[in-house]
Amino acid sequence: MPHFRVVGGQPLRGEVAVAGAKNAALKLILAALLTGEEVRLSNVPEIADVARLVELLRALGVKVENSAGGHYTIRADSFTTTELSREHAPKIRVSTLAIGPLLAREGRVTLPHPGGCALGKRPIDLFIEGFTAFGGRAEEGEDELTFTANRLHAARFVFPFVSHTVTEALLMLASRVPGVSTLVNAAMEPEVSQLAEMLRSMGAKIKGDGTPTITIEGVERLAGAAVKVMPDRLEVGSFAALAAATRSELTITHCDPAAVEVPLAHLAKIGVPLEVGRDFVKIRPAGELRALNITTHEYPGFPTDLQAPFTVLLTQAAGESLVHETIFDGRLFYTDKLNTMGAKITLLDPHRAIVRGPTPLRGKHLESPDIRAGLALLVAALAAEGESKIENISQIDRGYERIEERLAALGANIRREE
């Protein structure tokens, strides 16, 4: 099986350009299902999750062409089926966002229970509640869900808790439902705003994205669009944590530092020297790193997807840090792997861990449990003395484009082996 072999303990140096945002690209690809006209996307990251989603669309009869440089052309002028492929849908959780476009255009969609990262319970109940509010009906079978709608209508939906995925799902659906709909306690992520901007360019009237209340005036038909995928803010934070943990001097380019203000502020408090420009972040080697408490929160708070690489960084900080994961159950379980490398992390409960540092890390044989924890193990391997072998790297490939090539260009001793 493919794996990474990493020899750590050496600082990196150079520039790394940020790829297109995974969490934006996947939603923009799915938004193309809302129209029968051509949608052109650029700066799409070449990652495994994009490839899986493209296969899912093609199985629906959607025409998808792609060329070098992350350029995609999508035309969903007709569908050969409204059943999401049992082969492809379970491999990617974002497949649930196909419900809205298919329900709006075809009145019916069937999907197997979605897959994705194993991060504790992520029930589809909120999707069902949201689509039902707009006039949809859901019938749950033993291993599939069927949504139908004779006549959809505008709605006011109040989220019981913030969910960026369901916000995006209902944003897409409401754009094709005539009338004025309102989403209250909606997610405020920049990726939600880019989706809203794309839908506006297609003809929907949307106000309030980036705030907790979004108003959508839907239309019966949406036009095509041409959109450049925004830079991946999670890559910015990941590379910044990597640079700090390995005492490296890195310049992270082609990015939007404003989208990662909170993680960058945390780095500054830890003691990492930063230079922030309009479209770059420069990290310089730090002296002594200071312990810091981190609590994940919905945007604009500290991103849950950066919790793992920052936890690795905290193993190199002097003192005791508390990491509080408030979004997902079970997202701290990877810390036992860091402990085998020499870290001193105590898991208090599924949501809280104490990190005591600084502790030298040693290379180990590791297995990636999910996208973000996999990247964190890679950061740990680069910070550790000796050789590490990281297996199940298909998880890392789901979210990071050609990661080993980009790291090698910075001087990392890393290679992909079969």
pLDDT, greater one: 121 or 96: 96
Active site residue 117: yes
Q: Which amino acid is at 229?
A: V
Contact between 294 and 302 under an 8 Å Cβ cutoff? The reply is yes
pLDDT for the residue numbered 89: 92
Across 359-384, average pLDDT: 98
Residue 93: band (very low, low, confident or very high) from pLDDT cuts 50, 70, 90 = confident
Residue 118: band (very low, low, confident or very high) from pLDDT cuts 50, 70, 90 = very low
Residue 117: band (very low, low, confident or very high) from pLDDT cuts 50, 70, 90 = low
Answer whether 3-19+231-417 and 22-228 agree in fold: yes
pLDDT for the residue numbered 124: 86
pLDDT tens digits for range 314-371: 999 999 999 999 999 889 999 999 999 999 999 999 999 999 999 999 999 999 999 9
Write down the H helix ranges in 158-279.
164-175, 190-202, 233-245, 261-270
Which range, of 86-95, 106-115, 271-280, 352-361, averages the lowest pLDDT? 106-115
196 vs 193: CA distance, rounded Å: 5
Domain boundaries, the chain: 3-19+231-417, 22-228
CATH entry, 22-228, from 3.40.50.10490, 3.65.10.10, 3.40.1280.10, 1.10.1060.10: 3.65.10.10
pLDDT for the residue numbered 141: 83
317 vs 172: CA distance, rounded Å: 43
Residue 119 reports pLDDT greater than 70: no
Residues contacting 110, CB < 8 A, separation 6+: 82, 83, 84, 144, 145, 146, 147
User: What superfamily does domain 3-19+231-417 belong to in CATH?
Assistant: Enolpyruvate transferase domain (3.65.10.10)
Give the CA distances from residue 119 to residues 5, 13, 51, 109, 177, in Å, rounded to whole numbers and listed in that order.
Answer: 26, 33, 22, 26, 33
Residue 114: band (very low, low, confident or very high) from pLDDT cuts 50, 70, 90 = low
pLDDT tens digits for range 36-51: 999 999 999 999 999 9
Across 253-282, average pLDDT: 98
Residue 120 reports pLDDT greater than 90: no
H or E element that contains 157: strand 156-158
pLDDT tens digits for range 55-70: 999 999 999 999 988 9
Residue 121: band (very low, low, confident or very high) from pLDDT cuts 50, 70, 90 = very low
pLDDT for the residue numbered 123: 64
3-state DSSP call for residue 222?
A: coil
pTM, entire model:
0.95
pLDDT tens digits for range 202-231: 999 999 999 999 999 999 999 999 999 999
Average pLDDT, the chain: 96
Residue 116 reports pLDDT greater than 50: no
Question: Minimal CA–CA distance to 244: which of 260, 221, 264?
Answer: 264
pLDDT tens digits for range 396-417: 999 999 999 999 999 999 999 9
- Residue in 41, 57, 74, 117 annotated catalytic: 117
183 vs 209: CA distance, rounded Å: 10
pLDDT for the residue numbered 107: 97
Angle at CA 175, nearest 5°, toward 174 and 180?
60
pLDDT for the residue numbered 405: 98
Residue 113 reports pLDDT greater than 80: no
